[in-house]
Amino acid sequence: MEGGPSPERTDKTRAAVREGVVAARPAGTSRTYGKDDCSDGPKRQWKHWCEATGGSELDGMTIPVDKEVYSILVTPAKVEEYLQNHLTRRALMNAQRETLGNGTTLGIKSLKKHLDALNDLYGHQRTDPLTKDDMQNVMKPRSSETVRSIILTAQRKTATRHQEMYLDRGKGATLMEGYTDDQHTQLSRYGPAPRAQPHPPRRARPARAAKNRKRGLAAGATLRAKKSAPADPPPHPYYLPE
């Protein structure tokens, strides 16, 4: 029989894979991403932005007048506009959704968290029976070159701001953050000293040296066996040779 599985069977397989991914996900990750019904977390903020009309207030800022009302389907074009015109300009907020007012916008970690949540919502919409037909030919948001450029620009701005504030780039971070690949190699091999020299390589032990070592072990075993054997009795003190 030619061809592959039917579309219905393919949808069931993808839905089962999606359920397994969500079930195996850590609880902290689920709380960070929010529920798939957009009732909490970054997904709820995404829904509020999609449904916001031009000129309205959202998260302490005014929505551009020319913005239209969108559906909550995650597409690269919507994510690009959401990141560029809203999240990168949005001020920091506390747990009560109140603007802090210190002029600081969202950093790179917050942007990545929102982008990860949108990618997760994209995966749900690709397998949901109500939205899978509309998401058939839609690419992932991370596949957009514009989205990658926005994240890279935000990352550089965050690094510049931290340098101007003389912040320790290792505080509250892991060893994988703040250092280049060459610096990781330097730390793991030679230590934190900037001018540490590599240790000289060990000389390879030739085959003859290994053979001589075996011979030495055998000779030592023979010598120990002789020492453990009973010794001859000493000669009589009054014995005189002929």
More confidently predicted of 157 and 206: 157
Q: How far apart are CA 150 and CA 157, in angstroms?
A: 11
Is the CB of residue 43 less than 8 Å from the CB of residue 68? no
* Mean pLDDT over each residue of the chain, to the nearest integer: 79
Q: How far apart are CA 81 and CA 146, in angstroms?
A: 10
Every domain of the chain and the residues it spans = 7-169
What distance in Å separates the CA atoms of residue 80 and residue 57, rounded to the nearest whole number? 20
pLDDT at 118: 95
pLDDT in tens, 115-147: 999 999 999 999 988 898 899 889 999 899 999
Taking phi first (over 0 means left), then psi (-120 to 50 degrees means alpha), and beta for anything else, what does residue 150 get? alpha
Tell me, what's the pLDDT at 222? 67
pLDDT band, very low/low/confident/very high, at 239 (cuts 50, 70, 90): very low
Which of 126, 120, 51 shows the shortest CA–CA distance to 86?
51
Contact 80, 150 (CB under 8 A): yes
**Tally of CB atoms within 10 A around 113:** 15
Specify the pLDDT at position 1: 45
143-200 tens-digit pLDDT: 999 999 999 998 888 888 778 877 766 666 565 556 677 777 777 777 665 555 555 5
d(Cα 87, Cα 106) in Å, to the nearest integer?
A: 7
In this predicted structure, which of 31-45, 75-89, 151-165, 215-229 has the lowest mean pLDDT?
A: 215-229
Report d(CA 48, CA 33) in Å as an integer: 15
pLDDT above 90 covers a percentage of the chain that reads 29
Helix (H/G/I), strand (E/B), else coil: 220: helix
SS3 91: strand
